[in-house]
Structure 1
Amino acid sequence: MKNNNNKISLCSLIKLAFIGLMTSTTLNAKILDFGPNVLTADPSGHVWKDGRMYVYVSHDIECQEDFHMKDWLVYSSDDLEQWTNHGPFMSLDDFSWADNYAWAPDAAYKNGKYYAVLPVGTGFKDRINPEKSTKWMGLGMAVSDSPTGPFKDAIGKPLWTKPYTNDPSLFIDDDGQAYLYFHAKGYDYHVVKMNDDLLSVDGEFIKMDMGGYTPKMEGPWVFKRGDNYYFTMPENNRVLTYYMAKSPTGPWEYKGTFMDQEHNANNHHSIVQFKGQWVLFYHRWINVSGSSCHKRQRVTAMEPITFNADGTINKVQRTD
């Protein structure tokens, strides 16, 4: 797979807004368009062993119908200002068992390899006559020697076929145990342990105790800060909310909203620490001039995110 390693100056591509101070240096809130006419969403941020920030994103195609997306992109930076475009790290053509819906990615590093967990699917969703829908989605596992790829389908099939699944979040705890969280039909608020090779699951799905609060969820993101584990998600596909626990499998305590909805549109996010700062990557829907299809389109953005002494998250306000 060909990588495009062109440097991009965000000064000419993004809208800048000063939002405040974090632990070490000032982090500016940004809309990260990553280049002319490049529409991205569902950002998964990771800092790997080289200390750089890598952001894996899904790739919207202008005028696409019902999110029929074809590949995933990755960008990296050592200062969150200048970004390197590594091009597509994988596409639907790399999966023999799927042909549509290249949706929200996640990634992990373990055993000297880089792993991508990718939701892909087949069929068609009939929104007018749902009973005629044939759409199906599952999770593929891909592996690479490099954080930017090329990645290859590692198992030649989905991790499982039932339930219908997307929006994976792959979290590796301090002891090396990996946990896979996901959005699934009839299996929301479940987690499954992964085997050490990250190519298969270990045991059954675990239904987590969410403290009695289980609204409609999508796009979970799990991380650890100090002794606290955080389960975050777009509640009702719109509002970013979170839970806290002392274990990666709960029991979880609901803590509320840390980012309100915008334009009554979906959101998908990740939260990661970079050089002493905590960063929220998310997508927003903005007006795009010249579009012949959609009034608003999705772009990746980032904001600083801060915590109180007790570990709770301060409300994040979007900047203009």
Structure 2
Amino acid sequence: MKYAFSLLLSLFIISNQSLAQNPLDFGSDIRTADPSAHVWPDGRLYLYTSHDEECQLDFWMRDWHVFSSEDLVNWTDHGAVLSVEELSWADNFAWAPDAAYKNGKYYFVFPAGTGFKDRKNPENSTKWMGIGVAVSDSPTGPFKDAIGGPLWREPYANDPALFIDDDGKPYLYFHGKDFDYYVAELEDDLLSVKGDFIKMDMGGYEPKMEGPWVFKREGRYYFTMPENNRVLTYYMSDSPTGPWDYKGVFMEQEHQSNNHHSVVEYKGEWLLFYHRWLETPESDCKARKRQRHSAAEFIEFNADGTIKPVQRTAEGVADFANRIKRN
């Protein structure tokens, strides 16, 4: 009896370990954040991330990575797709990227910058960031800086989100210093801005935001963001440029730390990718107990299209294969 109980307990522990997929297991101890998820013509899901190096100083980040999967449990690490060392106009701040497929090419949009942010004496800060575009024939790169500079230098901008509508029009959403809730329509080759920035109508509610992500579902557009850089909230609209109707929170904050996310449909399931600040006891970085790790959850919608609240879980999307079998 005692042996049987021990065996059942062991099987239970093993079973739960096999279901524990948050944070996502990329096959190494790499720290990733800001996951941007896309499904490309080859049928795989690709995740473009920023890269937190061990004990890095104040988000001084140097390259971007890509991972891919067909079952969301077993991932292929394709390595770094681009580094600030390959840029002539920036040498730091390889922050949250995004990507798109258009005209038979893969486009990688990324923020990068120069200078230094003085948190104690902000008046001494020299930090600047802009958004670049790199192009490749492959979803895993190598990507090459396509314009040799940022899309624009003013305003200071980061956190690009590239959305291509059903009619082929490309839109770039971003966080801009004193310039939030603007969108730029891009030219068809995605290498320059078409016309002026468009100030969107957010229905009178414009909180501090970072990391926008826009997607389309059943004819409705969703503008999602980490409100106050913490809690994930969203708006809905009938147009990619608004006016937008604020709908509220779909994921609460954790540890009063930043979040950055993406939403995508894959094989009939809607998925939320995001990052978590988790205790990392195996780390050599004693100054920072929590570090960022990419994670994922299923995301569901009500009949009226609104998003149901999403909870952080240990199992994440480990049940993906079984779910798609039931679809």
| TM-score greater than 0.5 by the shorter chain | yes
- 1:216-255 CA distance string (max 9 Å, x none): 0000000000110000000000000000000000000000
Per the alignment, residue 7 of structure 2 pairs with none
1:29, CA displacement in angstroms?
5.8
Take 1:305 and 1:286, find their aligned partners in 2: how far apart are those partners?
A: 21
Q: How far off its partner does 1:36 sit? A: 3.0
Tell whether 2:231 aligns with 1:239.
Answer: yes
Partner of 1:167: 159
TM-score (norm 1): 0.91
Q: How far is the alpha carbon of 1:16 from its aligned partner?
A: 5.7
Amino acid at match of 1:305: I
Runs of 5+ unmatched residues, structure 2: 1-13, 315-327
| Alignment partner, residue 6 of structure 1 | none
Q: Quick one: which of 249, 252, 258 aligns to 1:260?
A: 252
TM-score by length of 2: 0.89
Residues 174-185 of structure 1: pairs in structure 2 closer than 5 A: 174-185=166-177
CA displacement, residues 192-224 of structure 1 (integer Å, 9 cap, x when unaligned): 100000000001111000011110000000000
1:191 matched to 2:183:
yes
User: What are the within-5 Å matches in structure 2 for residues 51-90 of structure 1?
Assistant: 51-90=43-82
2:325 is matched with none
Does the 8 Å contact 1:59/1:70 carry over to 2?
yes
Aligned-residue sequence identity (percent) comes to: 69
Aligned residue number for residue 201 of structure 1? 193
Give secondary structure in 1 for the equivalent of 2:22. strand
Tell me if structure 1 keeps the 8 A contact 2:27–2:75: no
The 3 A distance-change label for structure 1 pair 240 and 177 is same
Structure 1: segments with no counterpart, 5+ residues: 1-11, 18-27
| Match 2:42 to one of 41, 45, 50 | 50
Whole-angstrom distance in 2 between the partners of 1:173 and 1:15: 40
In 1, Cα distance between equivalents of 2:84 and 2:24: 24
Q: Deviations over 1:102-130 (max 9, x none)?
A: 00000000000000000000000000110
Q: 2:299 aligns with which of 275, 299, 305?
A: 305
Equivalent AA in structure 1 for residue 203 of structure 2: G
Q: Could you tell me whether the CA contact under 8 Å between 1:33 and 1:40 is conserved in 2? A: no
The two structures, once aligned, show a CA RMSD in angstroms of: 1.4
Question: How many angstroms apart in 1 are the aligned matches of 2:90 and 2:299?
Answer: 36
Higher helix share: 2
Is the CA contact (8 Å cut-off) linking 1:267 and 1:282 kept in structure 2?
Answer: yes
Give, in whole Å, the separation in 1 of the partners of 2:90 and 2:18: 39
- Runs of 4+ in structure 1 deviating by more than 4 angstroms, as ranges, are 14-17
**Counterpart among 139, 144, 151 of residue 152 in structure 1:** 144
Deviation at 1:30, TM superposition (A): 2.7
Q: Which residue of 1 aligns with 2:4?
A: none
Q: Residues 15, 231 of structure 1: CA spacing in aligned structure 2 closer, same or farther, 3 A cutoff?
A: farther
CA contact (8 A) 2:111 2:159 kept: yes
Partner amino acid, structure 2, of 1:295? K
CA contact (8 A) 1:245 1:253 kept: yes
The partner residue of 1:279 within 271, 278, 285 is 271
Give the counterpart letter for 2:44 in structure 1: R
CA contact (8 A) 1:219 1:268 kept: yes
In structure 2, the residue matched to 1:315 is 309
Q: CA deviation at 1:70?
A: 0.5
Q: Are positions 1:39 and 2:31 aligned together?
A: yes
Residue 230 (str. 1) matches residue 222 (str. 2): yes
Match of residue 128, structure 2, among 132, 136, 151: 136
Tell me the CA shift for residue 293 of structure 1: 2.8
Query: What is the number of equivalent residue pairs in this alignment?
Result: 298
